[in-house]
Structure 1
Amino acid sequence: MARGDVLITPDELDGVLADVDVLDVRWRLGEPAGAGRERYREAHLPGARFLDLEAVLTRHGEPIEGRHPLPDADTLARGLGELGVDGSRPVVVYDEAGSFAASRAWWVLRWAGLDVRVLDGGIGAWAAQNRPLTSGDTEVEAVLLTLTTGQLPTIEADDAAGFDGTLMDARAPERYRGETEPIDPVAGHIPGAANVPVSDFFTADGRLPDPERLAQLLDRPGPLAAYCGSGVSAAQIVLAGASIDRPIALFPGSWSAWSSDPARPIATGDERA
């Protein structure tokens, strides 16, 4: 897999806009429900439909499953089908600079076998080139869609314990070290994990860094796996790996699942670079 298999530039998208399904996945952790949809209604790419991360790209179960466990195939298929996605055309997803929602959408849709790419730099990169935007909701006819999930590698908590390779913690260094934890029940990290902050996987304008920089960031021994707070931002690291043909497994439950299980050990401080 190469960069062009996971990303699309504004120039490239402009040339195929009528031939792809475009999904706006704007979402920010901690913002009021519906805020992303309101930004979508104010301005979005022509033909784009709003994909609700909380309603379609996750489900809400027991705390031990994490804050954003993966959706079941039927829920995902129904949510995408309501947006007119039938799997016959490529899908392009986008969000805003510095967000992780599009990478989560990319991961979930690839996991379900769909052909999907992320708009590099999101809506900001599109608008910066004075390309057209529209407002309101895009009306489409619902379609039937059948999906088979499990088409990208994942690990579970038992796999993360003593992972044979490099387990990457994508959260901010202070959360990794256990100095603060604003969301989950316990501070710290999975023993043996290396801190690889997801912030390193964005340029200043929200694009993915160049392949040489990504190769440096991911120059780590053994098989790779990634986790974050709840399996959203770590998808950006998986996407980065895919862009340079470096497979990375995702721990969907991530720290929110691990820290909800009192039987799991907790590490603090710095372990290894």
Structure 2
Amino acid sequence: MENRINKEVLEVPMDFRIACEAFGIQVADFLQLLIDHFAFVNVFAAEDSVYDLVAKGLAEAEDELEKMGGYKTNYSYEDSAGQCFPLYKQLFKLAMNRNYSWNAKRRRARKTIDKLFLIMSSKVKIRPTLYLDEETPIRLNRDFRIWSMIHNCPAIPVLNAIMQRVSLADLYARVHLDETEHNPILGLYLRVQSGYGDLADAGHINSLGFKNFLCDLQEFKMRYFLFYRLSDRIEIYRDRFLENYNEMNKTTIR
């Protein structure tokens, strides 16, 4: 992850833009899917799902922001602890209850989340909508806003930190050199790339530009095998991905 994370505006890294748009996925659609798949009850227990990947991804983003400094515990809820704690306890018990499926747990959590939000939003106000640009809204659900208030992590730097975790250059360099790492947000991206959420544009996927992009990608491992250091491999892949991305866009425009 890069060291600098913009705290003021949503800033889409080129690596992230390429990862999305090269596979026909709009950046705004991916971010909205991510937010829509954050459920606060998933913070309390693990499951094999997109919801779990998002919860773990937010935790990683929080850790990265803490390393930067400037984010401290929010003590404004101290006088509301008596109201909030029983609700946290309800969510924890629900998450640990094996009698319900996770879909049922998320449905049952809704009333508790609404109560928690009413208490917390009386202390701190968080905008329900961010803008990727002047015409592209990103809507924050109540679960996401509650998490943001509790952890004192504003949505903009959190999403910027998350976007820095997705890079095709980093992914393929690590796979080709057998140096993979745990990365829940990348796991989410790969599921979306494989069809989850039906975000990919079918016309793009069937285009000549995309087919050329994939054909060149298949040659990376053998073409650049002499670059055995991870950092070198990432940089040369990054340059090539950018060239192919630009060429693909030219082909699509024609």
* TM-score (norm. length: structure 2): 0.25
Q: Which has the higher strand share?
A: 1
Higher helix share: 2
**Greater RCO, 1 or 2 (C-alpha within 8 Å, sep 6+):** 2
Question: What is the TM-score when the length of structure 1 is the normalising length?
Answer: 0.24
